[in-house]
Amino acid sequence: MIVVSALAGMTDALFACAAAAADGDVARARRSLDDQLDRHDGIARSLLQRPGAALFQDELERARNAIAGLLERFGSRSEEHPALRDELVSYGERLSAALLAATLAAADLPTRCVDARRCIVTEATHGAATPLWPDTEHQTRAELIPLLDAARVPVLGGYIAATRDGRTTTLGRGGSDYTAALVGAALGAREIQIWTDVSGVLTADPRVVPGARRIPRLSYAEAAELAYFGAKVLHPNTIQPATDRHIPVRICNSQAPESPGTIVATEADVWPGTVKAIAHKTGITVLHIASSRMLGAYGFLRALFEVFDRHRAVVDVVTTSEVSVSLTLEDARSLPAIVSELRSLGEVSVEPHRAIVCVVGEGLRTTPGIAARVFATVRDINVSLISQGASRVNLTFVIEEGRVREAVQRLHAALFEREPVPADVATGGAA
C-alpha cells in the first residue's frame, strides 16, 4: 500500500494561502493557489487518458470550490484559524493521493484512494496533532484490510488525520513519513519504505567526502544519532511506531530505484570497531561555565539549565567536570542574554564558529582503542569538548569550524578507506 506526500511546493503554497486569507486578502489567497492547481491539472493530462483524466479534473474542480469556501471562513475569529488551516493544507495530500490512484488505475493496477482521515485518529492540536494509537490501529485495519484482501492497492495521503469527531488535523511538517510508519505498524507490515532522492544514508556528507559510501544497514539507535545532523535519515519520532514493533524501515532513491538503499532495523551490523558514519555540523557555539560553587553542591546544574530553558535554547552536547560545564548551542540568537544570566553562576567563556563532529556506530560500545584512533587522526586540531552519549553509539567532539572539512576527510580516510568492510558484513552477517 502507498502513502503519498503532497506535490513538491504544494504544502508551502497552501500555508502561504492560509496566511493571506488570515490577513483578510481572500482574493490574493485564491490567486496564490491557481498555479498549483493548474500544475496538478497539467500532470494529470500528461499521465492520464480521457476517462481517468476527466474524473481527476472533477475532483480538482471540487477541491477548487471547497478551497474558495474555506478561504471565506477565515474572516471568522482567529481562534478558528488553526482548524481552518489544517482543513486547507489537507488538500495537498488529498489531491496527490487522488492523482496517484488515478495513475495506477490507468496502468490497470487495481487500486483505491482512501481518505487518510478515516485511518489516522488524533487529539485536536491543529498543526501538530498526536495520534491516538488504539483508535488509529483499529480504524486503519478496518479501512485497509478489506482492500488488501480484495487485492486492491490502497493509496492514501500522509500527514493528514482527523479527531474522533471528524475534524481535520495534521501531524506536523514532513508528517507523511510518520503516517507511513503508523500505517505500517497498524498492519504489521514486513517493511516500510521511504522513497526520497538520495540512495539511503552515506558514511559522510558527500560534499565534504566525495568518496562517501552508502551504508547498507543501520540500527534504530544509530539512525537516531545521525538524524540530528540532517543526514537523510528519518526523524526518530517519525519511525517510533516502526521501532516499537521491530519493523525495518528502508530508505530508497526514486532516482535510482535499483539501489538497495539503507535499511534501518533493530539489529545492525556490528563488528569490532564498526563505525558507520562520520557526521558533522557547523555554526555551533560552545559555552564554558566554571564555578567553584559547583564543587560538591547540588542544584547548580538545575539553575544552569533553567537559564537555557527560559530562553528556549536547545543544548545539544554537554560535558561536565567537578567545577565546570561545557555545552553547545546551535542557535546563538539569545546568546548575549544567556551569557549575562550565566555570569551570575560562574565565569563564562564563549567560543563561536565551532563544529560538532560525531562518529557513529554500534561497534563503539565494545571496541577498546577507537577513541585513541579517532583523536590520533585529528591530533593537531584543538578539541574543545568531548562527549560519548548514553546510547554509546556515538563519540562526539567539537573543533574549530575552519578545520572541520579536513578533520572529517581524515577521519573518513582512517576509519573507512584503509580498512575494507569484512566480507561477511557485506552480506548481512555479524561478527
Give residues in contact with ligand ASP (CB under 6 A).
5-6, 11, 92, 158-159, 173-176
Task: Quote the Cα angle for 157-182-251, to 5°.
Answer: 80
- Write the CA distances from 380 to 89, 356, 389, integer angstroms: 52, 17, 24
Place of cell 557526521: 279
Choice between 11 and 199, CB closer to Mg ion:
11
Choice between 5 and 111, CB closer to Mg ion:
5
The full DSSP string for 262-317 is: EEEESS----TT---EEEEEEEEEEEEEE-GGGTT-SSHHHHHHHHHHHTTPPEEE
- Out of ligand ASP, Mg ion, none, what residue 100 binds, judged by CB under 5 to 8 A for its kind, is none
Answer whether 397's CB lies under 8 Å from 369's CB. Answer: no
CA dist 57 and 36 (Å) reads 14
The HSE-up count of residue 423 (CA atoms within 13 Å, CB side) is 0
Choice between 175 and 241, CB closer to ligand ASP:
175
Nearest distance, CB of residue 159 and Mg ion, angstroms = 8
Answer whether 357's CB lies under 8 Å from 280's CB. Answer: yes
Nearest distance, CB of residue 231 and ligand ASP, angstroms = 18
The closest residue (CB) to ligand ASP is: 176
- Out of Mg ion, ligand ASP, none, what residue 158 binds, judged by CB under 5 to 8 A for its kind, is ligand ASP
Q: Is the alpha carbon torsion for 281, 179, 10, 102 positive or negative?
A: positive
CA dist 418 and 333 (Å) reads 41
Nearest distance, CB of residue 43 and Mg ion, angstroms = 16
- Out of ligand ASP, Mg ion, none, what residue 236 binds, judged by CB under 5 to 8 A for its kind, is none
- Out of ligand ASP, Mg ion, none, what residue 122 binds, judged by CB under 5 to 8 A for its kind, is none
Nearest distance, CB of residue 405 and ligand ASP, angstroms = 31
Nearest distance, CB of residue 236 and ligand ASP, angstroms = 16
Nearest distance, CB of residue 89 and ligand ASP, angstroms = 8
- Out of ligand ASP, Mg ion, none, what residue 228 binds, judged by CB under 5 to 8 A for its kind, is none
- Write the CA distances from 65 to 8, 18, 71, 169, 171, integer angstroms: 22, 15, 10, 20, 25
For residue 94, report the phi and psi dihedrals to the nearest 5 degrees: -65, -40
- Out of Mg ion, ligand ASP, none, what residue 92 binds, judged by CB under 5 to 8 A for its kind, is ligand ASP
Give the DSSP H or E segment for 153: strand 153-157
CA dist 368 and 364 (Å) reads 8
Nearest distance, CB of residue 17 and Mg ion, angstroms = 18
| Residues paired with residue 264 on neighbouring β-strands, in sequence order | 218, 249
Answer whether 212's CB lies under 8 Å from 204's CB. Answer: yes
Choice between 1 and 48, CB closer to Mg ion:
1
Answer whether 326's CB lies under 8 Å from 286's CB. Answer: yes
Nearest distance, CB of residue 173 and Mg ion, angstroms = 8
- Out of Mg ion, ligand ASP, none, what residue 261 binds, judged by CB under 5 to 8 A for its kind, is none
Binding site for Mg ion (CB under 5 A): 5
- Grid coordinates belonging to 311: 530562553
CA dist 319 and 287 (Å) reads 11
Answer whether 214's CB lies under 8 Å from 262's CB. Answer: yes
Choice between 5 and 170, CB closer to Mg ion:
5
Nearest distance, CB of residue 5 and ligand ASP, angstroms = 4
CA dist 35 and 14 (Å) reads 11
Choice between 5 and 199, CB closer to Mg ion:
5
Choice between 11 and 32, CB closer to Mg ion:
11
- Out of ligand ASP, Mg ion, none, what residue 157 binds, judged by CB under 5 to 8 A for its kind, is none
Choice between 5 and 319, CB closer to Mg ion:
5
Nearest distance, CB of residue 195 and Mg ion, angstroms = 10
Give the DSSP H or E segment for 47: helix 26-47
Choice between 6 and 327, CB closer to ligand ASP:
6
Choice between 90 and 326, CB closer to ligand ASP:
90
